[in-house]
Structure 1
Amino acid sequence: MAYRYVIRHHAYTFDDLKTLLARASPLRSGDVLAGVAAATYEERVAAQLALADVPLRDFLHEALVPYEQDEVTRLIIDTHDAAAFAPISHFTVGQLRDWLLSDEADAPALQALAPGLTPEMVAAVSKLMRNQELIAVARRCEVVTRFRNTLGLRGHLATRLQPNHPTDDLRGIAASLVDGLLYGSGDAVLGINPATDNPHTVHQLLNMLDAVCEQYAIPTQSCVLCHVTTTLELLNRSAPVDLAFQSIAGTEAANSSFGINLGLLQEAWEGTRALNRGTVGQQVMYFETGQGSALSANAHHGLDQQTCEARAYAVARRFDPLLVNSVVGFIGPEYLYDGKQIIRAALEDHFCGKLLGLPMGMDVCYTNHAEADQDDMDTLLTLLGVAGCNFIMGVPGADDIMLSYQSTSFHDALYLRRVLGLRPAPEFEAWLEQQGIFNAQGQLLPASASAQLLGRLPAALR
């Protein structure tokens, strides 16, 4: 079906819904690279105005990637909750925007609506919204998850302690772990990106993380972010796996380029849950995404990169994850050219994920060849804190020496918690106070008060 809008006697025609969504997307380098972006600002405005009049029902009848060719499309259509969708089934995209910005769209209403929304619907409405509107709506969405602590509660901000090391050296990783814990980082997860996916190395890392959590009685979860097939192999070896991790994308072809499919994720989900390692819940999946991954694999089917990204959230939603985050600026300037594009993409991703009912965090990051710097990340970090982001990264010095990109530091999390009055996960905060790391007001105490922690490192890591 073609869509048409006239501006100043000039008619703009968009051949189908896929084209309309792409032309309505705010400018980003990845869509220009893919040849799907609007040619002019006026064409983009025309597409946005045309998109505002599209009935939401159209997204249930016009598949952007053919149903027969793509298991992600089949997942989206086959699991759509018609009852949850019914109250807004008569809306256009523009009317959905207006409702989301109204007082009617409170947290309970948004939670009830989430199963009735498809990724394409939320991607569409995000294209009509200013940054402040993305923040305002996302802030109302409360998505709470549990494993060994409670994440996503309003007024709280968690961090992933990310102690990566270029050679997977256990002592180097342990030093970063202790450093992060002494700054109150790690309630979302103690998560290592391994330099190698070798099962023996990953098993060693898992054992080390498990020993640290046991030695210190830390109410958090650990994860080595290896490929899901490595996790499955280690499950068969009785490795101490808390969370199964995988990078995911929004099309079957893009997921195939990652070496995964929905069946493999199902196997990992079931196998990890069977270990029953959680204490307050059993949400065991951790997913990472990022705009541009489908285009990198030439698997975007002509979709704009933000709509592809939103479709990845349907994959995540299927497996009831503990954690999901967009690694927003990691792929590089070919997809998000500068700080302005990175900020916009991050706010879109957070908004879309939360609206679909996901526990969204964000890796506030950029690569050194992007037109961005730490000031841009400070701005984005603050905006995401206001928007109610569930968690951010905690990287020593904000500089990941293994992955070679810039992220957020332990100090950045302290800043955001302080200026916005946010607290760690409740169970983790109680542990920090017990250890003499934080006081009862959630403030960091001098390092000397927590020196006892250093004396209880497992002997092999001293």
Structure 2
Amino acid sequence: MILRTTLFGNVYNFSSVKEVLAKANEEKSGDRLAGIGAASTKERVAAKIVLSELTIEDLRNNPVVDYDKDEVTRVIQDGLNEEVYIRIKSMTIGELREFILSSSGEEIAEIRDGLTSEVIAGVTKLMSNLDLIIASKKLTNMATCNTTIGKVGTLSSRLQPNHPTDSIHGVMASVMEGISYGVGDAVIGLNPAVDTVDSVSNILKAFKDFMNEFKIPTQNCVLAHVTTQMEAIKKGAPMDLMFQSIAGSEISNRGFGINVKLLDEAYFTMKELKSSKGNNFMYFETGQGSELSSEGHSGADQLTMEARCYGLAKRYNPFLVNTVVGFIGPEYLYDGAQVIRAGLEDHFMGKLTGLSMGVDVCYTNHMKADQNDLENLAVLLAGCNCNYFMGVPGGDDVMLMYQSTSYHDIAALREVTNKRPIKEFENRLEELGIMKNGMLTDRAGDPSAFLKGGV
């Protein structure tokens, strides 16, 4: 295993695979903050050259966090398909990139279970933005909860009706408006302001009552801590999806108040008590930089740690996974260019891992980014078949205080890319007069359709 190269007469030596991965990463403010990024463009290119010549076996044998010290590493390594791995282990990361770009989605899917998260991160670092778009578009990952997400030709959305006090009336007003714009086929999912069993249960019930009354085929979820959700479902709350934020290391997951044992317990509790019908009933959110903010990155770069999140999520066959790509702030992704790059990276890595992958295309107000950056990324992701985006009233989340995609954005993205909602959802909206032939009607945006006497 050679960790050095000569470039323009200069010799570049790297101490470890971890350092190669970090310095081969595209520039991110988080890596600079951690002191692990490339010092110059030349050093970055040198690291990419070295990385391209390392093999899948080299990266598998050198995880960025030791197997004996980290349960996320153990989940990723122990979950590998050894038969597939043995077949491809001598392929270099450069050759893997060429294989992905020249092969069909079906051919790529045949080898992905032999790739560790470090390998997936490594090949991502060798790709341009356009490479990531081309490769992502090939990959189709479907999942079924009450309905099936990820079919070719669909673009789904999470209806995010957050409210600063979790007022049921305020939340449901947003739900009605969102559905009236054709948003919510992925899930009606709220980030709670109050993380209590009673509040979570009441909101889940309100969502389910609305879904039943108006025959809306979708899923419900309240994004509380997994322990709160377990208590709620044990007390009879109707729960289609169980949520948890996850990270790429044991230390950082401990900061979220979780570990693999707890996630396993949540999975099996949900499998027994869920109100949904399908085999995919977990929902995870991630985001580059969370391991650095919780001091759990172990000297690894934020992209590689993000890839490890997807390796952990894969254990639970989730219905939804999304990166909240610009949410943490400029300490980790400084500006619009870094957010766009990270969104394309995360989407590709999630898809290559085999996940039903979405993106919360977003930014915080103290970041050097704006609405145009958000819209640029959304169009790029929609073009490479991202499974779903967020639908936030006005694109401005009044509880989490950040900017994301709006109800109107979802409609526009579907129109631009000639995509439609999940079929059952679209059929029901046609019955309600909200959509026709995949387009919103004049009745769209009128939530009175869901008030008494409105239908």
- TM-score w.r.t. the length of structure 1 is 0.96
1:442 aligned to 2:434?
no
Aligned to 2:439, what secondary structure does the other structure show?
coil
The 5-angstrom pairing of residues 7-22 of structure 1 reads 7-22=7-22
Unaligned 5+ segments in structure 2 are none
Structure 1 match to 2:63: 63
Q: Single out whichever of 301-310 and 426-435 deviates more from structure 2.
A: 426-435
- TM-score w.r.t. the length of structure 2 is 0.97
Please list the CA deviations of residues 315-340 of structure 1 after superposition, one character each: whole Å capped at 9, or x if unmatched: 10000000000000000000000000
CA contact (8 A) 1:2 1:17 kept: no
Among 335, 340, 349, the alignment partner of 1:338 is 335
Structure 2 match to 1:84: 84
Structure 1 match to 2:239: 241
RMSD, matched Cα: 1.5
CA change 1:448–1:300 in 2 (3 A) is closer
The 5-angstrom pairing of residues 56-455 of structure 1 reads 56-102=56-102, 105-279=103-277, 281-439=278-436, 441-447=437-443, 453-455=449-451
CA contact (8 A) 1:436 1:450 kept: no
Q: Single out whichever of 192-201 and 136-145 deviates more from structure 2.
A: 192-201
CA contact (8 A) 2:56 2:115 kept: no
How far is the alpha carbon of 1:368 from its aligned partner?
Answer: 0.2
2:348 is matched by which residue type in structure 1? F
For residues 41 and 452 of structure 2, the distance between their equivalents in structure 1, rounded to whole angstroms, comes to 60
Identical-pair percentage: 48
How far is the alpha carbon of 1:454 from its aligned partner?
Answer: 2.2
Aligned to 1:68, what secondary structure does the other structure show?
helix
How far is the alpha carbon of 1:154 from its aligned partner?
Answer: 0.9
For residues 120 and 435 of structure 1, the distance between their equivalents in structure 2, rounded to whole angstroms, comes to 47
Please list the CA deviations of residues 187-239 of structure 1 after superposition, one character each: whole Å capped at 9, or x if unmatched: 00000000011221111111111111111111100000000010111122111
Unaligned 5+ segments in structure 1 are none
Q: Which segments of structure 1 move beyond 6 Å, counting only runs of 4 or more?
A: 448-452
Please list the CA deviations of residues 125-156 of structure 1 after superposition, one character each: whole Å capped at 9, or x if unmatched: 01011000000001000000111111001111
Please list the CA deviations of residues 88-145 of structure 1 after superposition, one character each: whole Å capped at 9, or x if unmatched: 322100000011111xx21222222221111111100010110000000010000001
For residues 45 and 330 of structure 2, the distance between their equivalents in structure 1, rounded to whole angstroms, comes to 24
For residues 345 and 61 of structure 1, the distance between their equivalents in structure 2, rounded to whole angstroms, comes to 26
CA change 1:457–1:59 in 2 (3 A) is farther
Q: Single out whichever of 444-453 and 416-425 deviates more from structure 2.
A: 444-453
Aligned to 2:188, what secondary structure does the other structure show?
strand
How far is the alpha carbon of 1:167 from its aligned partner?
Answer: 0.5
